[in-house]
Amino acid sequence: MTDTFKWHDFILPVVAITLAIGYAIYVINFPAHSMVAFFVTPEVIISSLRTHLYLVGLSMLLAIAVAVPLGILLTRNRFKKLTPYVVGIVNIGQTIPSFAVIALFVGILGIGERTAIFALWVYSLLPILNNTIAGINGVDSSIINASTGMGMTRFHSLYKIEIPLAMPVIMAGIRTAVVINAGTAVIASYVGAGGLGDIIVTGLKIMQPQILILGAGYATIVALLLDYLLGMAERLLPKA
């Protein structure tokens, strides 16, 4: 059974998108300086937004593809003893500042999207991994024992019982990672990967608040909308 949507569920995205489009139109039509009119065009905004979403989307897909299966694996009895070591290694990547991650791997991966995606991938792993482990381990053992007594194999119990029951916790980790990722993605500009960070860096260079607010505002709205969409997707999932 899934939740139904009401009209007020769509207030946030409508307001956010209206503000984003409205402010962009205002900046383009009423620039505070000729430099603003030169650097901010519809093409620049659309291109930066598209690149930003691409960087966030790809790094998140890679993080989910690695962290969720790894988290499930670490909840199996034979691999549980490895959990503190694996989580500790992933945690190291989370504690290193994002600029430091980029600086460390620019020499290996070069300047461009690959380095930015790698840094965002590293930053997205820990929340998803931790929540996957917590969600699976949080399933009542009596439910698992009951499924075994009904003749389910370990795989079927995992697939039909444990993962569905753990899904809200796993989704919470993914949503946290998406918000972190969308905000951190502005640093991609410093390695030539583009994105909304280009707009922010341009605003800093020419000291124009209009451009700074545009870039930072769009990055914030992207994070809010992605979190909202994942929340809607979570509500559409069948209840265990």
What is the pLDDT averaged over residues 153-178? Answer: 87
For residue 71, what pLDDT is reported? Answer: 94
Give pLDDT tens digits for 44-69.
Answer: 999 999 999 999 999 999 999 999 99
**Looking at the predicted structure, is the pLDDT value of residue 1 above 60?**
no
Lowest-pLDDT choice from 158-167, 176-185, 229-238: 229-238
Is the pLDDT reported for residue 202 higher than 90?
yes
| Distance separating alpha carbons of residues 12 and 88, to the nearest angstrom | 37
Name every residue whose Cβ is closer than 8 Å to that of residue 11 and which is 6 or more positions away in sequence: none
Name the residue with tokens 């990722």. 181
**Region 107-117: what's the mean pLDDT?**
86
**DSSP code of residue 41:** -
For the chain, which domains are there? 7-236 (1.10.3720.10)
**Cβ atoms of residues 68 and 153 within 8 Å:** no
| Percent residues over pLDDT 90 in the chain | 54
pLDDT of residue 111: 85
Nearest-angstrom CA–CA distance, 162 and 145: 11
Alpha helices for the chain (secondary structure H): 11-29, 34-39, 42-74, 83-95, 98-109, 113-137, 141-149, 154-157, 163-184, 196-206, 209-236
Q: What is the DSSP string of 122-164?
A: HHHHHHHHHHHHHHHHTS-HHHHHHHHHTT--HHHHIIIIIHH
Q: Which of 121-130, 214-223, 231-240 has the lowest mean pLDDT?
A: 231-240
pTM: 0.88
| pLDDT for position 69 | 95
pLDDT tens for residues 67-97?
999 999 999 888 989 999 999 988 887 787 7
Mapped onto helix, strand or coil, the DSSP state of residue 109 is: helix
Cα separation, 37 vs 30, whole angstroms? 8
What is the distance between the alpha carbons of residues 127 and 176, in angstroms, rounded to a whole number?
Answer: 7
The model's confidence at residue 239, banded by pLDDT at 50, 70 and 90, is: low
Q: Identify the DSSP state of 30.
A: S
